[in-house]
Amino acid sequence: MTLSIVILAAGKGKRMHSQIPKVLHPLGGKSLIEHVVTTAQALNPSNPPIIVIGHEGEKVRKALEHHPITWVEQKEQLGTGHALLQALPNIPDSDSVLVLCGDTPLISVETLQRLISATPKNAIGIITAKFPNPSGLGRIVRDSQNNIIQIIEEKDANETFRNIQEINSGFYFIPAKFLKTWLPTLNNTNAQKEYYLTDIIAKSVKEKTAIHSVQPRNTEEVYGINDRAQLAILERFYQKQLAEKLMREGVTLLDPNRFDVRGELTIGQDVTIDVNVIFEGSVTIGSHCIIGPNCILKNALLADGVEIKANSIIEGAEIAEKCVIGPFARIRPDTKLSPNVHIGNFVEIKKSWVDTGTKINHLSYVGDSEIGSQVNIGAGTITCNYDGANKHKTIIGNNVFIGSNSQLVAPVQIGEGATIGAGSTITQNAPANQLTICRAKQITIENWQRPKKEKET
């Protein structure tokens, strides 16, 4: 048997009330359909997955342009059976077809493998689940021997059928030859005037084809997204699963309900993460790190023993061992901090390299800079990197001391061991090992008096 995978994703997703196609809405920072595509690829199908697109299909295609996919268009959305029919010309008769839904993102590789391996040859496999509130979903009808005999959509169901709690998940494993025989014969005489894929169940019963059902480990795996409330429920479930996995691997989360990963997160051991931390893109964290509350870490690399204090934002940066950052610090892209660097409150660093043991502890902007080791940057220091048209570099040697409230007007270099007097506006290079000051000379005006308030007449 060779495996073909078809993902249905042509529907409008009306209930999202959105300009964005439903399957492109994000869950855990990745579109719904990308989750499904990643799962499909993990099953090693013989050919790239086939995705049926229609409504706003171009956007879906664009969003997945880096994945190998065979695209099929369903010009009019006439129902799930009609959608799958469009994919059949791409599938050899001898294949078996795994049907997935673009709006049901958390189906697991394990459950699908179980569906594939448990379905006997020449039988139909289907994933079903018991939902306490099955409203809106297709119901599984079984006979007295517990065999599946039909799927009834809610809109076509009378009260007896509506009371059934076993639902159709929309995942099937079916020999292609059956689909090629049955799908062209579907009709749309139902409440929604659609060609229902689910109607092939009744056809298979008529032809005495066995139907085998499999249940997922978590019902959330088969939870389809139709509106934003469902999206939020599934987002929380997804985050909770990730949180539990990390805790099992040795990460302390002070509250797993207030933890969000929107991308890929890799963490070493004995890391503590406080509440409301958001991880975006690709984030790697070493061991023995502490991340304070309300931080955002995006595309960042943290080595061992780093501490990020409350309310800091780190993006596109590489932070070496034992750096201490924050609270209220902002590290922007292309920043590299060597070991033991301290960045304090209200400090912004952009596109800069700060070498070992340097401290920038209060109220500074450092951009387009190279700062040596063991440097002390005083409170309120600004690198003036922008002349209104171009960006220029500030280069500071090892062991430099920059006095508070200094402006370093780039391009400028401060030699090794230099001291800059507080309040200086440095526009020319400062020599090594000497004190450079550039500010108005302090004078005292004797006998000067404060103006007095004139008496009201």
Q: Which residue is nearest to ligand UD1 (CB)?
A: 138
Binding site for ligand UD1 (CB under 6 A): 8-11, 52, 74, 77-80, 82-83, 101-104, 137-138, 151, 153, 167-170, 196-198, 224
Rounded Cα distance, 358 and 321, in Å: 13
Residue 353 β-bridge partners: 336, 370
127 interacts with, out of Ca ion, ligand UD1, none, CB within 5 to 8 A per kind: none
Cβ(190)–Cβ(212) below 8 Å: no
If phi over 0 gives left and psi between -120 and 50 gives alpha, with beta otherwise, what is residue 350?
beta
Q: Which does 216 bind (CB under 5 to 8 A by kind): ligand UD1, Ca ion, none?
A: none
Question: Closest distance between Ca ion and the C-beta of residue 201, in Å?
Answer: 17
Nearer to Ca ion, 182 or 223 (CB): 223
Residue 176 CB coordination number (10 Å): 19
Compute the least distance from the CB of residue 168 to ligand UD1, in Å: 4
In angstroms, give the least distance from the CB of 136 to Ca ion: 8
- In the list ligand UD1, Ca ion, none, the entry touching 410 (Cβ below 5 to 8 angstroms by class) is none
CA dihedral 159, 160, 165, 166 (to 10 degrees): -120
Least Cβ distance, residue 205 to ligand UD1 (angstroms): 16
175 sits near Ca ion (criterion: CB under 5 A): no
Find out whether 399 and 415 touch, Cβ atoms under 8 Å: no
SS3 content of the chain, % helix, strand, coil (to 5): 20, 35, 45
For 344-407, the three-class secondary structure string (H helix, E strand, C coil) is: EEEEEEECCEECCCCEEEEEEEEECEEECCCCEECCCCEEECECCCCECCEEECCCCEECCCCE
User: Of 224 and 380, which has the nearer Cβ to Ca ion?
Assistant: 224
Rounded to a whole number of angstroms, the minimum distance from the CB of residue 354 to ligand UD1 is 49
Q: Enter the tokens of residue 135.
A: 């409203």
Residue 198 binds which of ligand UD1, Ca ion, none (CB < 5-8 A, kind-dependent): ligand UD1
Q: Which helix (H) or strand (E) holds 128?
A: strand 124-130
Choose among ligand UD1, Ca ion, none what residue 137 binds, the Cβ cut-off being 5 to 8 Å by kind.
ligand UD1
Q: Are 293 and 275 in contact (CB under 8 A)?
A: yes
Closer CB to Ca ion, residue 167 or residue 273?
167
Q: To the nearest whole angstrom, how small is the minimum distance from the Cβ of residue 163 to ligand UD1?
A: 16
How far apart CA 16 and CA 23 sit, in angstroms, is 10
Residue keyed to tokens 């902002």: 330
- 275 in Cβ contact with 260 (< 8 Å): no
- CB closer to ligand UD1 out of 104 and 294: 104
Q: Which of 67, 288, 362, 392 is catalytic?
A: 362
Give how many residues touch Ca ion by CB under 5 A: 1
Tell me the window of 218-226, 281-289, 306-314, 382-390 that interacts with Ca ion (CB under 5 A).
218-226
Nearer to Ca ion, 224 or 344 (CB): 224
Four-residue CA torsion sign, 186, 49, 231, 214: positive
With beta carbons less than 8 A apart as the criterion, state whether 271 and 251 touch: yes
Nearest to ligand UD1 of 99, 253 (CB atom): 99
User: What does the alpha-carbon distance between residue 48 and residue 67 come to, in Å, rounded to a whole number?
Assistant: 9
With H, G, I as helix, E, B as strand and everything else as coil, classify residue 126. Answer: strand
| Residue 83 binding: pick among Ca ion, ligand UD1, none (C-beta 5-8 Å cut-off by kind) | ligand UD1
Q: Which stretch binds Ca ion (CB under 5 A): 183-191, 220-228, 259-267, 330-338?
A: 220-228
- State the minimum distance, in angstroms, from the CB of residue 235 to Ca ion: 17
Query: Judged by CB under 5 A, which of 224, 344, 378, 380 binds Ca ion?
Result: 224
Q: Which is nearer to ligand UD1, 41 or 190 (CB)?
A: 190
Among 84, 36, 74, which Cα is nearest to 53's? 74
Is 362 annotated as catalytic?
yes
Residue 10 or 271 having the CB closest to ligand UD1? 10
Q: Closest distance between Ca ion and the C-beta of residue 11, in Å?
A: 7
Q: Quick one: what does residue 406 bind among ligand UD1, Ca ion, none, with the CB cut-off 5 to 8 Å set by partner type?
A: none
- Binds 96, which of Ca ion, ligand UD1, none (CB < 5 to 8 A, cut-off by type)? none
CB contact set of 118 (below 8 Å; sequence gap of 6+): 125, 212, 214
Question: Which positions are catalytic?
Answer: 362
Residues at the contact surface with Ca ion, assessed by CB under 5 A: 224
